[in-house]
Amino acid sequence: MSTTKKIQSALISVFSKDGLEPIVRKLHEQNVTLYSTGGTEEFIKNLGIPVVPVEDITSFPEILGGRVKTLHPKIFGGILNRQDNESDVQQMKEFDIPQIDLVIVDLYPFEKTVASGASEQDIIEKIDIGGISLIRAGAKNFKDTVIVASVNEYSLLLDIITEQDGSTTLENRRLFASKAFHVSSHYDGAIFNYFNTDETIYKESIANGQVLRYGENPHQKGFFFGDFDAMFKKVHGKELSYNNLLDVDAAVNLIAEFKTDGPTFAILKHNNACGLASRKTISEAYLAALACDPTSAFGGVLISNTKIDLETAQEINKLFCEVVIAPSYDDEAITVLQEKKNRIILVQNEVELPSRQVRTCLNGLLIQDRNNITDNKEHLKTVTVTEPTAQEIEDLIFASKICKNTKSNTIVFAKNGTLISSGTGQTSRVDALIQAVDKAKAFGFDLNGASMASDAFFPFPDCVELAKKAGITAVIQPGGSIKDELSINYCNENNLAMVFTGTRHFKH
């Protein structure tokens, strides 16, 4: 039997009629018999095109307020029959079941209804039964049936039936079946997640993936699954790479810590801040952030917590950087930043980030809640005789916000609303501290009077000893070591102020 099949009949039953008219007109032009239900039937009639109500096939009306329309053997027999199976062919004749070659169907908007905050009753009514059954039936019998389960496939269908004069190949039908099973599995996943209360079961389906140029390195394939356009408006520049996206993610998470602060600018490289400062103007904040480490800033990702103006854009334009992110820009600023052809310029939208973080591990996944705790003054417990000054408290909180978003083990130095230096991703906290001291010295920063943050507790007093020698006067850490007293005693003996937060901020 030929694998190329002519469409002679079609069942069309859709919730949304957008984009349907050209297909209906083309099918009518090709003398295809159309079957339909309810609102779709009325839509086709209004186009002046003949349509056969499903009730004429089933001899049974819609019941239960429209909950049951197409669930009938004469409908599903027409879709599921195997045209090369003699028994199926005989039963089709015996029960007078019409052949259905094409099914066009979509599903009730369950996810949109949930997102709208609708009542549970309204949400339940948006769980599609007939539609999902039609999709699965058509997809299962792809050898004989064409299934179109989404408006996203309308243009593909129209192209095929136009170019192939109403015929489809087995390859065409298998492709539509694959897309249909994606629609059905995604839909079922959304329904399950609405009902699921068992945190040990994880299901995720993301429909809008994109192919990246490559992964972390050119020999690795790379993909991004998510709604980038919901988070950002890209106004200029080349396509973002895998590494760009990782840095953008780190930048967004970091600047969120300073959302309600004054003008703050951050520069990141390899997911870590190499410059960050808060000032009275965003231009001053940028220049101060750049001064933290102008070497690492080369090729970095830049992000602001407020509008970027012309003055700031002119300064940024002197630096080679991959990405610039801000909630808004002056028109003149955009014009200046666009002078570099490949520079990516993003406008960040207000979008809630996922409450959980997921990463691959061994032959499975690791999932955890997002670290939503940002240390603030209310969290601080002074554990030393010497209390931090008001300015030191500001710097301690400032340093802690950066520390939380820096790879462990990490130590961060801050002074007067400026990142002085940090030690990142070291195998020991002492190494991280030594790295931070050396880096501060390399760029000519005076650590006298600076504040220090650590992402985890000090098991020994060696870190506070080194900090004191470097000029640090105040320390913030979570506390919780069985040997906390050793560090506390050293601070008391050497006039260091130290506060505990009670919250560890490991980031691996």
Tell me if 123 sits within 8 A of 110, measured CB to CB. yes
- Quickly list H helices, 262-353: 282-292, 294-297, 310-316, 331-337
Check 17, 26, 126, 140 and give the catalytic one.
140
Peptide bond into 409 cis (omega under 30): yes
- DSSP letters, 127-152, are S-SHHHHHHHHHHHTTTT-EEE-SGG
Q: What is the largest CA-CA distance in the chain?
A: 98
pLDDT at 15: 84
Partnered with residue 367 across adjacent β-strands are: 358
Distance separating alpha carbons of residues 304 and 267, to the nearest angstrom: 9
451-454 and 474-477 as β-strands: parallel, antiparallel, unpaired? parallel
The CA–CA distances, whole Å, from 424 to 33, 71, 273 equal 68, 61, 10
* Residue position matching structure tokens 């130290």: 498
| Active site annotation includes 270 | yes
Contact 259, 410 (CB under 8 A): no
Catalytic hit among 17, 234, 270, 340:
270
Which residues, 6 or more positions from 276, have their beta carbon under 8 angstroms from its beta carbon? 254, 264, 265, 266, 267, 289, 292, 402, 418, 419
Mean pLDDT per 10-residue interval, the chain, length 508 residues:
86 90 94 90 93 84 71 86 88 89 92 91 89 93 95 94 94 96 93 91 86 94 93 95 96 96 97 97 98 95 97 97 97 96 96 91 93 94 97 97 96 97 96 97 95 96 97 97 96 97 96
Give the neighbor-by-neighbor strand order of the sheet with 451-454.
381-382, 497-500, 474-477, 451-454, 411-414, 419-423
Catalytic residue check, 74: no
